[in-house]
Amino acid sequence: MQEHSFSYNTSLIHNITRVLDTILLNQDRHFRPFNGDPHTPLQVEIDISVRSIGPISEQQMEFSLDCYFRQKWLDHRLAFDMFGNREHLPIASKMLKDIWTPDTYKFYKKYIRNGRNSYLHTLTVPNVLFRVRYDGQVHVSQRLTIRSRCKMFFKKFPMDSQACPIEIGSLGYFTKDIVYVWKDVELDSKMSNMLAQYQLLHVIKTSNNFTDLHDRNLKVSVLKVYFKLQRQQGFYILQIYTPCTLIVVMSWVSFWINKESSPARVSLGIMTILSVSTLGFGYRSDLPKVSHSTALDIYIMFVLNHYKQN
């Protein structure tokens, strides 16, 4: 029994080695696969599995996410005859350098078009899964941490919501060569409990073809995914709104202070204004220096004006 198992494993390894040698001999990694028609663009399927979102920085206007980034495309040059029940060949990620891959793989720091800093997880080895199906379909999965720009609007702060996008596109190919399509964007079921200040409302996927800046006859295929985030107000209600309201109510004590006790009335008024101003405008250090007022600014001005009238 052991001899039969050893013989089977030896034969399997021999067949896999032969297939890999044949694949690499028929491969030219400098040219994209045409799959029989050079005029038809290659379709690259994108799938993102989001593990976590954060941190989110309002001051830097950026957000981070940890995800599995998966790509699939068809390359008939890698097709092989099935042996046994094996439809897929799991291959070491080091061999990716020997085949053609879309530049979304090669330049993961650049293909996130609105990205600032992205990196591949390498503990304990590079987190890359590489498989080839018998018909030549290539499946590459990477675990990435992506840091991306997010244009934020704070007029309704802290009742605001933000739509933070990730843009995925090719660095060197146009739509006549490569077209990107969405498969899915999956979210971890526990993600809603991982965000301290935000609640993830929904995810919006789009696909567009943008005109190249240098040649208006050429277009670039770009995928976008928007993460719609709603800020949670609990922190601001407890730390700002409630204390400011209580300070104003406590300031009404001045109505019962003898009118001849001017120092006491003045001291109470100054303390009230300073306390409200400190509470109301202290949060500004966490926000970018925007020129417009926020909803919280208007509330603080209303509180100060109400105290002034009293």
- 53-110 tens-digit pLDDT: 988 999 999 999 999 999 999 998 888 877 777 788 888 888 888 888 898 854 445 5
Kindly report the average pLDDT of the chain as a whole number.
84
Question: Can you give the pLDDT at residue 24?
Answer: 72
Question: Can you give the pLDDT at residue 165?
Answer: 93
Question: Can you give the pLDDT at residue 109?
Answer: 52
Give 149's strand partners: 62
Domains of the chain: 2-231 (2.70.170.10), 235-309 (1.20.58.390)
Length of the chain: 310
**Mean pLDDT computed over 153-171:** 91
pTM of the model: 0.84
Give per-residue pLDDT as tens, 172-186.
899 999 999 999 999
Which single residue is written with the structure tokens 């206007």? Answer: 61
Measured between its terminal Cα atoms, the distance across the chain in Å is 96
Question: Can you give the pLDDT at residue 139?
Answer: 96
Question: Can you give the pLDDT at residue 107?
Answer: 46
Handedness of CA 97, 103, 104, 110 (dihedral sign): positive
* Amino acid letter for position 241: Y
CA nearest to 204, candidates 229, 226, 181, 182: 226
Give per-residue pLDDT as tens, 25-46.
767 788 888 887 888 999 999 9
**Mean pLDDT computed over 244-263:** 78
Query: What distance in Å separates the CA atoms of residue 157 and residue 290, rounded to the nearest whole number?
Result: 12
- Indicate if the pLDDT at residue 1 is higher than 60: no
* Amino acid letter for position 240: I
- Indicate if the pLDDT at residue 9 is higher than 90: no
Question: Can you give the pLDDT at residue 5?
Answer: 54
Say if residue 90 is preceded by a cis peptide, omega within 30 of 0.
no
